[in-house]
Amino acid sequence: MASKEELAKLVVTLEAQNAQYLKKFDQSQKKVARFEKQNRKHLQRVSLDFKKILGGVAVAGFGAALTSVINKSREAIDQQAKFADRIGISTEALGGLTHAANLTGVSQQNLQLGLQRMTRRVAEAAQGTGEAKNALAELGLEADQLAKLPVDEQFAEIAEAMADVENQGDRVRLAMRLFDSEGVALVNTLRLGKDGLRDAQIEAEKYGIALSGLDAQKVQDANDEITRAKAEIYRV
């Protein structure tokens, strides 16, 4: 059985750990609050537009729904930023491509898998190997020059070249070589060409979909603080 002195030391230790946890949690909450404040204004603007479309009918439970949307948005932004870092694309450019994909019925998951495979295959083609080597040559694209471009520009160059492919079967065949199984889904996105992709990028920036690297980093930092705060609970 523990002595009074031992119990007293345990209480002091727990109190110190709890104070440390509360401090970290408070820091994370402040970061999250700043992010939510910024996004709440944007989402409330969307809400007002939505109400106008409905002819002024009140949207029940909007406050709770807004909180849920913000939380999900924070998680999605964090994942998107980490993916952008992995394949070497800016968060702004990825936001623009994501918007273009959404407009053409392609999921974010299919887009990201397609971009990941395209990046690898273009790099392989630049070395004279891989699935995309002949496909790029057929499209009139120089693999070694293409590989030097940012990922979003690689995608745009491929989209522009694909516009000259008249046969739909050939489009699918070439897209499969460049993007693997995700190529079929991305055929419609590629049809936008450079101009369509540029328009989607402008829209994404206008609607706040294409976050800057700095804003995305703030979201990642906030999420990291929340993760650490949760871990601290279990450690205590």
Mean pLDDT of 20-33: 58
Does residue 66 register a pLDDT over 50?
A: no
Sequence-distant (6+) residues with CB within 8 A of 120 are 130
The pLDDT tens digits of the residues spanning 135-194 come to 999 999 999 999 999 999 999 999 999 999 999 999 999 999 999 999 999 999 999 999
Distance, first Cα to last Cα, the chain: 22
Q: What is the rounded distance in angstroms from the CA atom of residue 118 to the CA atom of residue 115?
A: 5
Q: What is the rounded distance in angstroms from the CA atom of residue 190 to the CA atom of residue 115?
A: 12
Tell me which residue has tokens 């939505």: 50
What pLDDT is stored for residue 206 in this prediction? 87
Q: What is the DSSP letter of 57?
A: -
Given pLDDT bands bounded at 50, 70 and 90, which one contains residue 111? very high
Given pLDDT bands bounded at 50, 70 and 90, which one contains residue 81? confident
What pLDDT is stored for residue 25 in this prediction? 53
What pLDDT is stored for residue 207 in this prediction? 82
Given pLDDT bands bounded at 50, 70 and 90, which one contains residue 62? very low
Given pLDDT bands bounded at 50, 70 and 90, which one contains residue 36? low
Does residue 65 register a pLDDT over 80?
A: no
Q: Name residue 221's amino acid.
A: D
Q: Where are the strands (E) in the chain, listed by range? A: none
Mean pLDDT of 195-204: 94
Q: What is the rounded distance in angstroms from the CA atom of residue 183 to the CA atom of residue 171?
A: 9
Closest Cα partner for 43 from 93, 35, 84? 35
- Are residues 15 and 220 in contact, defined by beta-carbon separation less than 8 angstroms? no
What pLDDT is stored for residue 120 in this prediction? 97
Please write down the long-range contacts of 86-90, taking CB distance under 8 Å and 24 or more positions apart. 86/116, 87/115, 87/116, 87/119, 87/151, 88/119, 88/150, 88/151, 89/115, 89/150, 89/151, 89/152, 90/150, 90/152, 90/213
- Are residues 101 and 107 in contact, defined by beta-carbon separation less than 8 angstroms? yes
Token pair listed for 44:
């409330």
What pLDDT is stored for residue 209 in this prediction? 75
Q: What is the rounded distance in angstroms from the CA atom of residue 28 to the CA atom of residue 52?
A: 36
Q: Sign (positive/negative) of CA torsion 154, 106, 116, 77?
A: positive
Average pLDDT, the chain: 76
Q: Which is more confidently placed, 68 or 30?
A: 30
Given pLDDT bands bounded at 50, 70 and 90, which one contains residue 234? low
User: Distance of CA 195 to CAs 13, 163, 175, Å?
Assistant: 62, 11, 19
Given pLDDT bands bounded at 50, 70 and 90, which one contains residue 30? low
